[in-house]
C-alpha cells in the first residue's frame, strides 16, 4: 500500500516538475545555509525541521531528478532500497549509489561556508 502511494506521488512529482519548469524559481539566500550546523545528517534535518512538502520542494530544487526521487522515497517516505528500486525501475545498487551521492550533495549544500562541493564536486 505504501509503495503504491509513493508510485502516485512519484507521478505527481513528475507533473510538478513539468509545470514548474515553465515557471520562474527563486533560490534560497546564502544566509539560510550559514545557519545550519555542520555534521548534521541532511535527511534527518529535512524531516525534523520541515513539513513534508517543504522538504520535497527543497530536495528537488537542490538535487538532480534521480537523486531527489531516491531521497524523497527513502528519507521522507521511509521506503526500503528494494521498494524504491521497484518504484523507479532501477536496481537496488543503483538506488544506493544515488542515495549516497544525494546525501553527499545535500551535506555540501547545508554545510556552512562550503558551497564548492554542493554543485560541482
Asked whether residue 119 is domain-assigned, the answer is: no
In this prediction, residues 94-102 reach a mean pLDDT of 95
Asked whether residue 15 is domain-assigned, the answer is: yes
Instruction: Provide, rounded to the nearest whole percent, the portion of the chain with pLDDT above 70.
Output: 62
Asked whether residue 50 is domain-assigned, the answer is: yes
CA 70, distance to chain mean position in Å, is 7
Asked whether residue 39 is domain-assigned, the answer is: yes
Q: What is the CATH number of the domain that holds 52?
A: 1.10.10.10
Q: What total of structural domains would you count in the chain?
A: 1
What local confidence, expressed as pLDDT, does residue 62 receive? 83
In this prediction, residues 79-85 reach a mean pLDDT of 93
Q: pLDDT tier at 96 (50, 70, 90 boundaries)?
A: very high
Report if pTM > 0.75: no
Contact 62, 120 (CB under 8 A): no
Can you give the residue range of the structural domain that contains 46? 2-110
Helices (H), 21-119: 30-34, 42-49, 52-62, 65-71, 81-88, 92-110
What local confidence, expressed as pLDDT, does residue 115 receive? 45
Amino acid at each position: 500500500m505504501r509503495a503504491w502511494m509513493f508510485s502516485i506521488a512519484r507521478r505527481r512529482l513528475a507533473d510538478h516538475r513539468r509545470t514548474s519548469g515553465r515557471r520562474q524559481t527563486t533560490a534560497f539566500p546564502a544566509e539560510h545555509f550559514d545557519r545550519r550546523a555542520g555534521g548534521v545528517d541532511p535527511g534527518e534535518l529535512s524531516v525534523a525541521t520541515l513539513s513534508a512538502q517543504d522538504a520535497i520542494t527543497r530536495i528537488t530544487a537542490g538535487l538532480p531528478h534521480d537523486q531527489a526521487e531516491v531521497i524523497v522515497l527513502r528519507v521522507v517516505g521511509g521506503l526500503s532500497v528494494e521498494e524504491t528500486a521497484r518504484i523507479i525501475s532501477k536496481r537496488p545498487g543503483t538506488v544506493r549509489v544515488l542515495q549516497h551521492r544525494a546525501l553527499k550533495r545535500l551535506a555540501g549544500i547545508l554545510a556552512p561556508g562550503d558551497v564548492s562541493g554542493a554543485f560541482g564536486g
